[in-house]
Amino acid sequence: MFEADMSKFQFVFSKDACIKTCIYFAVMYLAVIVFNTISVSRYKLINLLNANKKNEQVKIKNPIISILIFIIGASVLGYAYWKVTADAHSLDTADKIMPPIIMGIVSTILIFWSLSGFILQIIQKNKKIYLKDTNMFVLRQMNNKINTNTVSMSVICLMLFMTISILSTSLSLRNTMQRELIEMTPVDVNLYKTANLPETYTHYGRTITTTKEQREDSRISIQETMINNKFDMNNLKDIVEIAIYATNDLTWGDFFGDKIEEIKAKYPMLAYDTAEQIVKISDYNKIAKIYGIEQYDLNDDEYIILCDFDSIESIRNQAINEGTNELTIAGKEYKSKYNECKSGFIVMSTSHTNTGIILVPDNCNLTENEKERYLLAANFNADTDEEKEKIAEMFESGDSGFVQNLSEKGIQLDGMTKIIIIQSSTGLATIITFIAIYLGIIFLIASSAILALKQLTESSDNKQRYTILRKIGCDEKIINRSLFRQIGIFFGLPMVLAVIHSIFGIQFALEMMSGLASKEDLLPSIVATVIVIGIIYGSYFLATYFGSKNIIKEK
């Protein structure tokens, strides 16, 4: 399930954790005893003896007020839904996300609270439903503990909502990561280094001075650097090296053209002064060929923008479709070949994170001084996993690695291997899977258990009422059907609203994880979530029904 090597993992029992757990539960039980003692001591003995015969007073008796509160709650909830879907791009900080969450919680309580105040009155007006079978008894049973039901059902609804959202989005994210990991690691190694280093440059606010050796090395290819430093090139095969260009004359702001102000207003966080990456079409096709992805062709006056990061792709498509799609590159005008971004990448990664690469014709007049980076892609010249791991170690930051040796000489050559990317991604996928299973299942079991215990307790308290049903002529079949309906309503109502919450909550989660989780992987995750919830929630429902049936059975 975790797709990781579990051979080195072992079970560990923590004595300290066990002691702390016992202490914490003892404190909770003690607190319950104290509060219950105080609560019981406030009542007279006669009231305690007759408590199960009394219905809880409904604080909202006026159905008009209940309907108004329901409308208010539904309206607030509708606004919260709109905020996290249609206006989700504005929720870019924690303080902006909290109001819709609070609105969702409050409106959920208001909806359950108001429903309990007018549903009974509405159904009472429909005599065909109210007087049919034992519906009158079921509705009165529901109304019996109306205030506590409101609180508990609201909490359970929110817990079920979290269960559905966490399981669906986490499993979807994990599935996307596993699928994209295969797509984004088509070769064994990527190496890259900065080209044309100046004497000084600023990096994260620090001024860095380069050595003569670093500057000279930055003007030669990666393969030359490797050969000059005695690397055995026989360790590699299928070698492809390209140059990536960048110029301050073409930034993200320049790309968006006359749409720049509109896009800035919607997405102020983007770095619009960042220089665009430019790659010549023949160089890209060399990379695309070894990667096994689509290759392209261009006329002398055309360009293609490659982008596979969902949120950025939609912004770039807007600029291409609605704005001026002509760019000036190296003193020449180029027009977009397509009216949308095309899929593609040049650097391996754990997912589709390419925010933009502009492909230009080979005759584009880019100069040597405009080279930003060199990129090398290759496979290991090895047949077994052990041999590949040995070669991969040369490009890791260990004491004996080739890249580390270059770093000690002042030559910066960075790289990533397929093995390292997969290992790091597997660790993250493991965490996500654990969170999905732990939080999702725990919330599901907790909410199911609360419902089950509440219904079992009420069945025990109401045993005398079912005895009265038998005395007035109801047979066991009718009584069991009445019990089934009552428990079904209590299990069904929170689930229905939780599912509605989840429809919008999952959309918001996917929007927040744009570029990480794909909607393509959502359906299998939802199906898996439905199966898990169906088994666990359904099992608790059936166990509650059969348990309550035994409790009220005449002996």
On whether residue 511 sits in a domain, the answer given is: no
Would the pLDDT of 521 be above 80?
no
On whether residue 126 sits in a domain, the answer given is: yes
* Domains contained in the chain, number: 2
Q: Are residues 194 and 113 in the same domain?
A: no
First to last CA, the chain: 49
On whether residue 195 sits in a domain, the answer given is: yes
Q: Are residues 353 and 209 in the same domain?
A: yes
On whether residue 158 sits in a domain, the answer given is: no
Average pLDDT for 245-255: 88
Q: How confident is the model at residue 146 (pLDDT cuts 50, 70, 90)?
A: low
Contact 381, 322 (CB under 8 A): no
Gap between the Cα atoms of 216 and 133, Å rounded: 92
Would the pLDDT of 248 be above 60?
yes
Among 188-202, 376-390, 429-443, name the one with the lowest average pLDDT: 429-443
On whether residue 14 sits in a domain, the answer given is: no
> Which range marks the domain in which residue 228 is found?
187-423
Q: Are residues 263 and 394 in the same domain?
A: yes
On whether residue 227 sits in a domain, the answer given is: yes
Average pLDDT for 189-207: 83
Would the pLDDT of 397 be above 60?
yes
DSSP secondary structure string for all residues of 422-468? HHHHHHHHHHHHHHHHHHHHHHHHHHHHHHHHHHHHHHHHTHHHHHH
Consecutive H or E run containing 104? helix 94-125
| Model pLDDT for residues 47-83, shown as the tens digit of each residue | 777 766 665 554 545 778 888 888 998 999 999 888 8
Q: Are residues 199 and 124 in the same domain?
A: no
Structure tokens at 77: 């909830």
Would the pLDDT of 148 be above 70?
no
Backbone angles phi, psi at 504, to 5 degrees: -85, -35
Structure tokens at 399: 């004491």
Q: Are residues 127 and 200 in the same domain?
A: no
Q: Are residues 399 and 262 in the same domain?
A: yes
Task: Supply the pLDDT for residue 483.
Answer: 85
Query: Which residues have C-beta within 8 Å of that of residue 63, sequence separation ≥ 6?
Result: 117, 118, 121, 122
Lookup result for tokens 């009216």:
339
Contact 74, 111 (CB under 8 A): yes
Structure tokens at 208: 């860095």
Q: Are residues 206 and 123 in the same domain?
A: no
Q: Which residue has the higher pLDDT, 179 or 400?
A: 179
Q: Are residues 204 and 119 in the same domain?
A: no
Consecutive H or E run containing 323? none
Q: Which residue has the higher pLDDT, 315 or 201?
A: 315
Would the pLDDT of 1 be above 60?
no
Lookup result for tokens 């380069």:
210
**Does residue 304 sit in helix, strand or coil?**
strand
Structure tokens at 221: 């290819």
On whether residue 449 sits in a domain, the answer given is: no
Centre a 10 Å sphere on the Cβ of residue 181 and count the other Cβ atoms it contains. 20
Backbone angles phi, psi at 250, to 5 degrees: -135, 95
Q: End of a domain among 392, 407, 423?
A: 423
Structure tokens at 504: 């919008």
On whether residue 342 sits in a domain, the answer given is: yes
| Model pLDDT for residues 214-228, shown as the tens digit of each residue | 888 889 999 999 998
Q: Which of 97, 1, 202, 104 is nearest to 501 (CA)?
A: 104
Would the pLDDT of 117 be above 90?
no
Compute CA distances 211 → 22, 79, 200, 216, 217, whole Å. Answer: 63, 59, 9, 9, 10
Q: Are residues 273 and 201 in the same domain?
A: yes
Average pLDDT for 439-463: 85
Q: How confident is the model at residue 432 (pLDDT cuts 50, 70, 90)?
A: confident
Q: Are residues 68 and 194 in the same domain?
A: no
Q: Are residues 116 and 203 in the same domain?
A: no
Task: Supply the pLDDT for residue 348.
Answer: 92
Among 234-238, 239-243, 436-440, 511-515, name the one with the lowest average pLDDT: 511-515
Q: End of a domain among 423, 451, 466?
A: 423
Q: Are residues 267 and 375 in the same domain?
A: yes
Q: End of a domain among 108, 132, 156?
A: 132
Task: Supply the pLDDT for residue 34.
Answer: 94
- Predicted structure pTM score: 0.68
Contact 356, 277 (CB under 8 A): yes
Q: Which residue has the higher pLDDT, 310 or 228?
A: 228
**Does residue 350 sit in helix, strand or coil?**
coil
For the CA atoms of 319, 321, 327, 333, the dihedral, rounded to the nearest 10 degrees, stands at -170
Largest CA distance in the chain: 102
Centre a 10 Å sphere on the Cβ of residue 18 and count the other Cβ atoms it contains. 10
